[in-house]
A and B are shown apart, each in its own frame.
Chain A
Amino acid sequence: MSTPFEQTPMTGDGMRALGVAIPLLERTIRRVAHSMTPDADHRDDLIQAAWVELWEGDVTRYILANPGDFGFVREILINKMTKVWGGRREDSGEAVEPTAEWLPKVDKRVA
């Protein structure tokens, strides 16, 4: 048996994983939101929707250092943003089908 961890607590909290995950995904999510709409308020709504989806999906079941898991989570969040933005466009009478102009340019370096 190894020495006990004296400097660190023995009780953790899975919700803290969100604080670790957000900085990893933030750049991509902001970029996607920016490509969807020029409106800053709408962008904030989309980004918030992505973070709520991340929170509800429980990020502890993924290893974000793993490219496969990272890409999967990113896809979930982008799909959520697309859905939210699609609904917004539908409310305003615009087309809701995704078009090339607002589909995100995904950062392949992190994939």
Chain B
Amino acid sequence: MYRLSPQLLIAAAGTMVSMGVNATDFVSAPANDGANGEDADLSWDTKFIEKCGHWSHYDYRMRASSWPFPRGLSIGEIAHYARAHHAIVETPEFGDIFLQRSPRLNAFVHAGIVLECQASGKYSRSRPYLDVYTIEGDTNADGALRGGRAMRIKRRLLPRSGDCFVRWAALPARRTALGDAYMASILGPRKSS
């Protein structure tokens, strides 16, 4: 199994951006365009991260990925999972997942991958901010939510508004029975010798 590596994730995400992926690559068209305009499931920012993370950590020999998150998590579930594993941090590093919070909904509404923390400072009333360079899905050139594109963005995040970062590389890598059997087949002879 591959070790968890921010470099792998970012290489995959950068490739996706350069290929110009859009919503059709991640979500199917809604069955009806009724009153579900606010349906969070239509957002594909977390699906973008999941796809990049899963396939960048996929080991074809073991037919399994070491990407630490279970598949199909919503953004709220990602935050919950990370919090349960003590992987939420306030200062970003290369490859962390950022979670952007909406004060109105009191919930996370957007996620992406941090490439670099470019600056930090404080507004009036000591409100801190962080300028980060990111790769994210379902945004646009203005950094808007549900923008429909995968892009690199210079974005300002506000820890005081609840924005935070997931240090996923510190999470335990997922293990499978097949993976364990494979490792045992490799290590078995060495142990016996």
Contact = CB atoms under 8 A, between A and B. Distances in A.
A14 B155 contact: yes
A61 to B, nearest CB: 5
Contact of A63 (B20, B22, B146): B146
The size class of the interface chain B forms with chain A is 35 or more
Given A3-B20, A14-B153, A56 B127 contact: yes
A57 B140 CA distance: 19
Contact of B142 (A1, A11, A20, A52): A20
A63 B24 contact: no
A45 to B, nearest CB: 15
Contact of A72 (B104, B151, B158, B161): B104
Given A1-B21, A2-B25, A13-B153, A58 B142 contact: no
Interface of B: 17-22, 24-25, 37-38, 100-104, 109-110, 123-124, 127, 129, 139-146, 149, 151-158, 161
5 contacts: A12-B141, A12-B142, A13-B141, A16-B142, A58-B157
